[in-house]
């Protein structure tokens, strides 16, 4: 079970047949060290033999060796204390009630993990600092990543495909984080925003107390690509959004968009409150910009995607090629990890 007030606790839900709810203190490639509700010494668990596990959900990526949700077998007690710097590697969660959660850690690291077919959020972090590297969420009922009240929160090389709009869920939902840095992340096929940055509506929360730097983000086939809300100061560099509604929606706070592409079925960008500064961006949609004034270095044009249904890289001759501003080496690669710029000036967007 989740215990947000206890530093270093890592909660893992695995609600398949025969599973329980464990507070995981350490998760390795083929073991889990868990706390017990009765306060006794932690146990080291390992996945039970394959023939005793419930069948995996269809379409679950194979990540062997890995911690697989299912029945667990206790091997031995362990007296080690819970770590405030847990590291979770190569875990695969595929049960309906599963989610991977870290709470109040000095520095939690979650790497090479998969969550899929979960009823709620794929990943959840409450308080403390957390790094997510090369993690994916697919077909989740809530947010792909829901990160709340964190200090430094850094998703990198993470993807979300298929998420619902339950409880304001987004592909990446960041709420009241001190410093957030997203790099080379993608969200697609969702019923909520691709990325949402806001104060949770609980106020009062000081303006500028939540800072986010977002680089090389791709958001497509979502109602809104990126939404910036109250109290957030967001720097958006090299984003590509292709949304059913609005590419970038600023509903509060302060946003600065640089070297980015914002495409929407209704608006390229829309500002209802707060401030929005545009610098070397391309806007496209029935209303390219509402509540924001494009500048002399901004473009109102079709970006020329290779395939708007899936491949949002740019075709030869796109107006977004060689249209970017030099960012002084602060962004040296693109969404795929390729060097930026590959030749000439930077392209606009995530690629």
pLDDT tens string, the chain, 351 residues long: the values are 233 323 333 334 333 323 344 555 665 555 666 665 566 666 666 554 444 333 333 332 322 223 334 334 444 333 344 456 667 777 666 656 557 777 777 788 888 888 888 778 889 888 888 999 999 999 998 999 999 988 889 999 999 999 986 656 899 999 988 899 999 999 999 999 999 998 876 655 565 578 999 999 999 999 999 999 988 999 999 999 999 999 999 999 999 999 999 999 999 999 999 999 999 999 999 999 999 999 999 999 999 999 877 899 999 999 999 999 988 888 989 999 999 887 778 999 999
Q: What is the pLDDT of residue 79?
A: 37
Helix (H) or strand (E) run with residue 63 in it: none
Q: What is the pLDDT of residue 178?
A: 87
Q: What is the pLDDT of residue 114?
A: 84
Q: What is the pLDDT of residue 296?
A: 95
Q: From the DSSP assignment, how many helices (H) and strands (E) are in the chain?
A: 0, 27
Cα gap 350→216, rounded to integer Å: 4
End-to-end, the C-alpha distance of the chain in Å comes to: 41
Phi–psi pair at 211, nearest 5 degrees: -115, 135
Residue whose C-alpha is closest to residue 234's, from 246, 248, 223, 222? 248
Determine how β-strand 21-27 pairs with β-strand 32-35.
antiparallel
Angle at 194 between CA 191 and CA 198, to 5 degrees: 105
Tell me the whole-structure pTM to 2 decimals. Answer: 0.79
Angle at 150 between CA 148 and CA 153, to 5 degrees: 105
10 CB contacts (<8 Å, ≥6 apart)? Answer: 23, 24, 25, 26, 27, 86, 88, 100, 101, 102, 103, 105, 108
Which of the 8 DSSP states describes residue 194? S
Q: What is the pLDDT of residue 124?
A: 86
Q: What is the pLDDT of residue 64?
A: 27
């Amino acid at each position: 079970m989740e215990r947000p007030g206890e530093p270093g606790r890592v909660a893992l839900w695995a609600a398949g047949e025969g599973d329980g709810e464990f507070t995981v203190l350490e998760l390795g490639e083929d073991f889990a060290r868990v706390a017990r509700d009765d306060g006794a010494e932690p146990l080291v668990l390992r996945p039970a033999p394959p023939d005793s596990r419930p069948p995996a959900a269809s379409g679950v990526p194979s990540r062997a060796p890995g911690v697989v949700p299912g029945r667990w077998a206790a091997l031995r007690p362990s007296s080690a204390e819970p770590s405030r710097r847990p590291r979770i590697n190569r875990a695969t969660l595929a049960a309906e009630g599963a989610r991977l959660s870290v709470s109040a850690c000095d520095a939690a690291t979650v790497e090479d993990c998969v969550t899929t077919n979960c009823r709620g959020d794929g990943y959840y972090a409450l308080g403390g600092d957390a790094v997510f590297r090369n993690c994916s969420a697919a077909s989740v009922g809530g947010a792909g990543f829901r990160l709340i009240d964190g200090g430094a929160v850094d998703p990198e090389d993470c993807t979300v495909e298929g998420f619902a709009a339950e409880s304001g869920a987004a592909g990446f939902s960041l709420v009241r984080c001190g410093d957030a840095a997203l790099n080379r992340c993608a969200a697609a096929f969702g019923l909520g925003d691709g990325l949402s940055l806001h104060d949770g509506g609980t106020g009062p929360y000081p303006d500028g107390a939540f800072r986010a730097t977002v680089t090389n983000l791709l958001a497509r086939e979502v109602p809104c690509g990126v939404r910036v809300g109250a109290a957030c100061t967001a720097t958006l560099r090299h984003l590509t959004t292709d949304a059913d509604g609005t590419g970038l929606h600023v509903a509060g706070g302060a946003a600065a968009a640089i070297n980015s592409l914002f495409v929407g079925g209704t608006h390229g960008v829309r500002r209802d409150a707060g401030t929005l500064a545009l610098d070397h961006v391309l806007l496209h949609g029935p209303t390219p910009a509402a509540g924001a004034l494009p500048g002399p270095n901004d473009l109102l044009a079709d970006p020329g995607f290779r395939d708007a249904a899936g491949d949002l890289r740019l075709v030869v001759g796109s107006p977004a090629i060689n249209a970017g501003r030099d960012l002084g080496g602060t962004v040296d690669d693109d969404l795929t990890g390729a060097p930026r710029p590959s030749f000439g000036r930077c392209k606009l967007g995530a690629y």
